[in-house]
Amino acid sequence: MAAVLQKFLKDSGLYVFTTRDFMSRVRGGHNFTLIRFGPEPVLSHSDIMDGIIAFDEDSLVLHSEKLKKDGFLLCDSQYKTEDDRAISLDMLSLAKQIGNARTIGSIATGVILKLFNLQLLNLEDTLRKHIKEQYLEENKKAILTGYNLVENRYTLPAHEAKSQIILSGNQALAFGAIAGGIRFYSAYPMSPSTTILEYLSSKSVDANIVVEQAEDEIAAINMAIGASFAGAPAMTGTSGGGFCLKVEALGLSGMAEIPLVVANIQRPGPATGLPTRTEQSDLKFVISASQGEFPRMVIALRNHSDAFYQTARAFYMAKKYQIPVIILSDQYLADSYASIEPYDMEKVKYIQDIHSKVEYNPLDGEYLRYKITEDGISPLLIPGKTKNFVTADSDEHTERGWITESADVRNQMMDKRFRKLIKLKEELQEPEYIGEDSFETLFLGWGSTYGPISEAVKCLNQESPGTYAALLFGDIYPLPEKLLKEKVSQAKQIINIEQNATGQLAELIREKTSIVCDDSLLKYDGRQISVDEIVSYIRKGVRP
């Protein structure tokens, strides 16, 4: 029902942000969805609720503490509750009357829409998008039933977000890959990355992508490398445990300079950990994964907009520098839905350039796949598309790509590969700065804590204007240092806020810049930090 509800909300011109909390099992267990909406853009979830829709007894109890005093608790009249915020309705029996007990969700949807006085815009279209044809009629009935069951209660201010799109972080990532020119995707199922595989499969024909479920993660990445070598922009996706198995081939991409995008959708580790929950604890891992040394780039996705643009850009960077580019997302972003500005396709057009440029013919004379060049970038041809032999070798190799043991060639090749970073560093994107010109406390964060932290800055500054600011990293490795140093020199206090136990961003920053954070707000229980938690830590020193 969340999918249908969020669509109605969006179509009514509201901004929506939906997160899911589910257990690592197929049925049963306590699972719930949080929908936050309003007339202003919503960047994250909130712990404080205006309303609860409870479909079982547990939900009545488990969350009521977080329900606002004047909130509502919608539930079926079969459940007994003392809570005076409850709206008990005979939803189940009405659903049964309609002919399918499961339409209770649609009845509740109707109720909510009415409570907030929203219109049933595009009723049929919306249902058709999310509900199978055969269940359409009964769900339509159910929504109308719910809608007529209650009176309007809240009035929302005017709002204008009808032309937004709504999608999940993983859908945005996958769509970004399509915009980045992907032609090949291989993966082994693993939460929370599997929905990328599903989405790209569903678009394989429309977007001309070969999507292959591999026998294991090692196969997945080696396939992506093989496809990329043969000219198909390629990505492989997984979560931390699967990333482990890709580590060796990551080095192959680095050594043979084969463009590659690897998406790691983080979840709490170590090992199997908490498979359906969220964490940001793979940063240092992916930065130094694989033996030996080679240039790579790591981009952390901060939100649903990044997920699209930065994934597309990852393909560009991978191809331009002939390196592996790692995309770090996490379960929170991957599985949450947000309504945002439609993507601007003009902004990703430059990516086509790099794909076409690749096929240029080398200068006269011998083709040197690994030519020692000033910027470290060597001519990349596609095998079979030229009267030159294209080579790749996981051993150290000569300019032609043949195995060598020469100390001189080794030095030249190492230096050549690392020279690529000079140019790359020039086009790094600085972290996003949230705040006014002047501030005292600087928060440092990365990835999906973007939403909670930036909302927290705004919220805290409402009470104490000009006191808080944040730098939120997207490009994270190599670390962009310019803005960081500038803002740090201004800060009275620096606090890193991270969804891990060791403060990995803070460690990385210290390693590169000697900047030391004064305090850390770390969370690693598998649940995303909320704006409320940040605010109450700052105001009251209460750690979540």
Partner 1 sequence: MSNFSTHETAWCPGCGNFQILDSLKKALEELGKDPYEVLMVAGIGQAAKLPQYISANSFCGLHGRSLPAAVAAKMANEKLTVIVNTGDGDSYGEGGNHFIHNIRRNVNITHFIHDNQIYGLTKGQASPTSMEGMVTDVQVNGNANSPLNPVLLAIACGAGFVARSFSGRKEHLISVMKQAIEYKGYAMIDILQPCVSFNKLNTFAYYNQRVYELEADYDSSNKLSAMEKAMEFGDKIPIGVLYREDKADFHQKNPVLKAGVPLIDIDKSPDMLKNIIKDFY
Ligand X SMILES: Cc1ncc(C[n+]2csc(CCOP(=O)(O)OP(=O)(O)O)c2C)c(N)n1
373 in contact with partner 1 (CB under 8 A):
no
List the beta bridge partners of residue 494: 442
Answer yes or no: are the C-beta atoms of 478 and 425 closer than 8 Å: yes
Answer yes or no: are the C-beta atoms of 490 and 439 closer than 8 Å: yes
| Nearest distance from C-beta of residue 275 to partner 1, angstroms | 8
Report in angstroms the alpha-carbon separations of 79 from 72, 73, 189, 538. 15, 11, 38, 39
255 in contact with a second copy (CB under 8 A):
yes
Contact positions with ligand X (CB under 6 A) in 123-152: none
| Nearest distance from C-beta of residue 210 to a second copy, angstroms | 25
Nearest to 194 by CA among 263, 259, 250, 249: 263
Q: What track of x and - describes contact with ligand X for positions 318 through 347 (by CB under 6 A)?
A: ------------------------------
Length of the chain: 544
| Nearest distance from C-beta of residue 132 to ligand X, angstroms | 24
Total chain residues near a second copy (CB under 8 A): 66
484 in contact with a second copy (CB under 8 A):
no
Q: Which residues are CB-neighbours of 253 under 8 A, at least 6 positions away? A: 225, 228, 259, 260, 323, 324
Contact positions with partner 1 (CB under 8 A) in 251-280: 252, 256, 271-272
188 in contact with ligand X (CB under 6 A):
yes
Identify the residue among 111, 220, 334, 531 touching partner 1 (CB under 8 A): 220
* Residue 173: half-sphere exposure toward Cβ, Cα within 13 Å: 37
* Residue 83: half-sphere exposure toward Cβ, Cα within 13 Å: 28
370 in contact with partner 1 (CB under 8 A):
no
215 in contact with ligand X (CB under 6 A):
no
207 in contact with partner 1 (CB under 8 A):
yes
Identify the residue among 52, 263, 392, 444 touching partner 1 (CB under 8 A): 392
Contact positions with partner 1 (CB under 8 A) in 428-447: none
Identify the residue among 16, 34, 190, 265 touching ligand X (CB under 6 A): 190
281 in contact with a second copy (CB under 8 A):
yes
Q: Which is nearer to a second copy, 379 or 503 (CB)?
A: 503
d(CA 55, CA 74): 9
Report helix, strand or coil for 342: coil
Identify the residue among 176, 192, 242, 254 touching ligand X (CB under 6 A): 242
d(CA 453, CA 476): 17
Identify the residue among 171, 449, 454, 504 touching partner 1 (CB under 8 A): 171
Answer yes or no: are the C-beta atoms of 248 and 190 closer than 8 Å: no
Place of tokens 């609860």: 52
411 in contact with a second copy (CB under 8 A):
yes
Q: Which is nearer to ligand X, 189 or 466 (CB)?
A: 189
Answer yes or no: are the C-beta atoms of 21 and 31 closer than 8 Å: yes
Contact positions with a second copy (CB under 8 A) in 25-64: 29
DSSP string covering 173-221: HHHHHHHTT--EEEE---TTTHHHHHHHHHTHHHHT-EEEE-SSHHHHH
Nearest to 476 by CA among 442, 500, 506, 519: 506
User: Which residues bind to ligand X, rule: CB under 6 A?
Assistant: 188-190, 217, 241-242, 245, 272
User: Which residues bind to a second copy, rule: CB under 8 A?
Assistant: 23-24, 29, 218, 239-241, 243-245, 247-248, 251-252, 254-256, 266, 268-277, 279, 281-282, 284-285, 287-294, 393-396, 403, 405, 407-408, 410-411, 414, 418, 500-502, 507-508, 510-511, 514, 516, 524-527
